[in-house]
Structure 1
Amino acid sequence: MAMQQTGSQPPRRRRATGTGTRNPLVALAIALPVAALLAYAFGGWHQFALQANTMVQMMSR
């Protein structure tokens, strides 16, 4: 049997509210490996090292 549209909105799923918000260190532990992988995959490490080297040279003058 087909479901009928009655005009009312379907019930929304509610997110389970455990302890509240996530600890920022947990979010950092999740995000840093992904950021490191993307930087390595797209050559970001080389660019970072090049810019850091340039800044050190400018500051040492």
Structure 2
Amino acid sequence: MTLHVMRHSHASRLLDGGMSVLEVQQQLGHRHLQSTTVYLHADNKASSRKAAGILNG
């Protein structure tokens, strides 16, 4: 496992854990949000469950 892979995993886990993209940006020390979005891999199942929970009240 490389440092690069660990950084991707860390960013994704923070996002999945409920941190906002801006909070993840701050944690990674990025000046530009676009740099942070490269590291984020959204979990489609998790986002679908979250959307369903919001829409179903």
Same fold (TM over 0.5): no
Q: Which has the larger radius of gyration?
A: 1
Per chain length, whose mean CA-contact separation is higher, i.e. which structure has more relative contact order (CA < 8 Å, sep 6+)? 2
> Normalising by the residue count of structure 1, what TM-score does the alignment of the two structures yield?
0.30
TM normalised by structure 2 equals 0.32
